Structure 1
Amino acid sequence: MTAGPDGGAPRGANGVTPGHARPTRADAALHRFLAARRGGVDAHDAELWAALERAADGGKRFRPLLLLSVHEALGGTEAAAAAEVAAAMELLHTAFVVHDDVIDGDRTRRGRPNVSGTFADRARRAGAAPARAEHYGDVAGLLAGDLALAGAVRTVALCGAPPPTVRRLLDLLERALRISAAGELADVRLSLTGGADLGEILTMEEHKTAVYSFELPLQAGAVLAGADEAVTARLGELGRLLGVAFQLRDDLDGVFGEEAVTGKPALSDLREGKCTPLIAHARTTPWWPELAPYVGDPAIDAAAAARVRELLTAAGSRRFIEDLAASYGEAARAVAEPLDLGADLGGWIAATTAGLARVA
């Protein structure tokens, strides 16, 4: 799922995200954007915006905080613009979350009905047939995601930074959108046959998650701070490594995690037959013939999922992915070390990457 890392969001040594102690300026900017649109064209449009506002509520806000932390660490002075662009990062994430739930057919997020689930429920209560109610829910999810995406672009364009900076930010945003779209399409395509190798799947995960969740906010913070191209590029590499590491962790959580902790349906990845690195490794082991019937089975239940966990552990797949996540974390620390990111962000990177091998 595109927005995976936010379920088990990165935390530092003291259990908080970077910049937790500073005022959440990005939240204020995000709330201003959403509050200005509460009136609505009509009652149904107002309901759509209300559902979008609920979708944007919650989560750990680590994308805005990464941007603000980098901007501050590099001596940036565009505090107001940085807050606006940080809010845009959260709008972008919300757009991807809402669209991703439609793609995956999920009706809940963070333990409550998502946009699609909310509107499907309303249609059913109004007397619509089940299939038509589900279709209405998907339509609402697509439209709400589009509104959030347009809002993210608008917010960056009007952030108040100097025009050359805004242009550079929009270039970064467009790149993230294109690569993330390609990654999401690849995610669905690779699951059609289930025959992708580990390298293909890691590239897909880099594209669908790492670029927009880590590379984009880190590089946007640097651009706002006036950093040179070398620093900006190094932050991009740091974001790539962090993003893949946390997506690997999310893949583990999708099978071994608890829904109350991850915020997403516990069996959804197995039911959808997601082509994850965990499954790619399992295919190369003698345990695969017993595992294969469970992957992509829409009727899989808790008892069957427990057996899958046992088999993945016995096959060594769980340990392999834990070790792979840890190796990406070590590489991220090596890239971050020469950068002067301050005690706040630097300490967060060191603490969170050190704990990547642990699974919820």
Structure 2
Amino acid sequence: MSPPASDDALTRYFAEGLARSVPFDPDYQQLWASLAEAGSGGKRFRPALVAAVYTSLGGTDSELCGCVGAAIELLHTAFVIHDDVIDGDDVRRGRLNVSGTFAARALAAGVAPDRGRVFGHTAGILAGDLALVGATRLIALCGAPATTTRRLLDLLDHAVYVTAAGELADVRLSLGVGEVSLGDIVTVEEHKTAVYSFELPLQAGAILAGADDDVVLGLSELGRLVGIAFQLLDDLQGTFGDEAVTGKSALTDLREGKVTPLIAHARTTSVWPEVAASLGSRDLTEAEADGVRALLVAAGSRQFVEELADAYVDAALDVATRLELPTAFLDWITAMTDELTDRAA
């Protein structure tokens, strides 16, 4: 659960942005309204991670912690909006996302569909840019001592830098050019998700609390392990999940031919020719997708990814135990991964 201070900081950020947009045209006001909607809801576990580490290491300034947690959640919002543009998705969590909202506005005004999609993508890129700058500003003005703020900004810069590399590599892998190993895919998932969603908030909480470098380094390892497990389970949701529960389509990855650990494993099995025949088809039906899913189960690909995720979770729990983190924190890691596994069931 997101700390109240983080929720308050995000609410203020979106309200101030919307108020500043009033002198501009209605589309810009709608952009801020859509950005606020994109940043609402969800588990907001990143601010919760910041707070969990900060308080467990003796931190007591809830407003300071909340501001940094809000910044990291805003960074996540930026990446999600940009990711939807890259994937060409118009829906997120069962509702129109920023791009989808603006494409629909254009269509309602009588604009041709292809031009409407350009308008939608433009809005998505700009909204993500605004959120990226907002995240940086929140950390820069969080009120921490100058040396601490500098370390936090270095963490943020590193997270954006590595995530950009991961996103680009993820799209390149989907092009189907050259052989792709399981190690390549796991590295992409580490760069695309683990660094900003787990390493960043865990280390930020420790730095805010004044932890020594050994703890900060250990939390980086913990974040990497949990983040990879999280992404492996998220990949399962992307193929086997219920859209009504997960808020994401279980067809997109298959239609795009996305190279996930599921697919990497399937390539090594006898079912691969049948899977490959359907993979990457934009016209893939739900019935055809069910056939692909059945093949992935029969080949043991789903079980392989589940067991791989479990191995990363176990390694993360070992690190958490070594760092002597509170039992409640270990329980949170287990509960989070159990929930993701249930969603992909």
Q: TM-score range by the shorter chain?
A: over 0.9
What is residue 194 of structure 2 aligned with on the other side? 210
What is residue 231 of structure 2 aligned with on the other side? 247
Q: 1:252 to 1:42 in 2, by over 3 A?
A: same
Equivalent position to 1:223, from 207, 219, 225: 207
Residues 1:268 and 2:239 are matched in the alignment: no
Is contact 1:99-1:145 (8 Å) kept?
yes
Task: Report the AA paired with residue 311 of structure 2.
Answer: S
Percent identity for Structure 1 against Structure 2:
60
What is residue 14 of structure 1 aligned with on the other side? none
**SS of the counterpart of 1:38?**
helix
Is contact 1:325-1:356 (8 Å) kept?
no
Is contact 1:333-1:353 (8 Å) kept?
no
What is residue 5 of structure 2 aligned with on the other side? 25
| Residues 230-280 of structure 1 deviation map (CA, whole Å, 9 limit, x = unaligned) | 000100100000000010001111111010111112201111111111101
What's the offset of the Cα at 1:348? Answer: 1.1
What's the offset of the Cα at 1:353? Answer: 4.6
Residues 1:62 and 2:45 are matched in the alignment: yes
What is residue 289 of structure 1 aligned with on the other side? 273
Q: Which runs of 4+ in 1 moved over 6 A?
A: none
What's the offset of the Cα at 1:354? Answer: 6.2
What is residue 77 of structure 1 aligned with on the other side? 60
Residues 1:336 and 2:320 are matched in the alignment: yes
Q: Distance in 2 between matches of 1:306 and 1:354?
A: 24
Mapping 1:231-242, distance limit 5 Å: 231-242=215-226
TM-score normalised according to structure 2 size:
0.96
Show structure 1 runs of 5+ residues with no match.
Answer: 1-16
Q: Distance in 2 between matches of 1:166 and 1:231?
A: 18
Residues 1:105 and 2:88 are matched in the alignment: yes
Is contact 1:68-1:82 (8 Å) kept?
yes
Is contact 1:70-1:222 (8 Å) kept?
yes
What is residue 29 of structure 2 aligned with on the other side? 46
What is residue 143 of structure 2 aligned with on the other side? 160
Is contact 2:234-2:340 (8 Å) kept?
no
Q: Distance in 2 between matches of 1:86 and 1:160?
A: 13
Aligned length: 340
Q: Distance in 1 between matches of 2:101 and 2:329?
A: 37
What is residue 9 of structure 1 aligned with on the other side? none
What's the offset of the Cα at 1:43? Answer: 1.6
Show structure 2 runs of 5+ residues with no match.
Answer: none
What is residue 319 of structure 1 aligned with on the other side? 303
Q: Distance in 2 between matches of 1:351 and 1:38?
A: 36
What's the offset of the Cα at 1:291? Answer: 0.5
Task: Report the AA paired with residue 25 of structure 1.
Answer: A
What's the offset of the Cα at 1:79? Answer: 2.4
Task: Report the AA paired with residue 334 of structure 1.
Answer: D
| Residues 279-320 of structure 1 deviation map (CA, whole Å, 9 limit, x = unaligned) | 011011111001102111100011001001110011110010
Equivalent position to 2:161, from 178, 189, 211: 178
What is residue 130 of structure 1 aligned with on the other side? 113
Q: Distance in 1 between matches of 2:74 and 2:114?
A: 30
Task: Report the AA paired with residue 212 of structure 1.
Answer: Y
Is contact 2:47-2:201 (8 Å) kept?
yes
What is residue 187 of structure 1 aligned with on the other side? 170
Task: Report the AA paired with residue 132 of structure 1.
Answer: R
Is contact 2:46-2:197 (8 Å) kept?
yes
Residues 1:308 and 2:288 are matched in the alignment: no
| Residues 159-207 of structure 1 deviation map (CA, whole Å, 9 limit, x = unaligned) | 0000000000000000000000000000000111163110000000000
TM-score normalised according to structure 1 size:
0.92
Equivalent position to 2:99, from 116, 122, 137: 116
Bigger mean CA deviation after superposition, 326-335 or 341-350: 341-350
**What do you get for the CA RMSD once the two structures are aligned?**
1.3
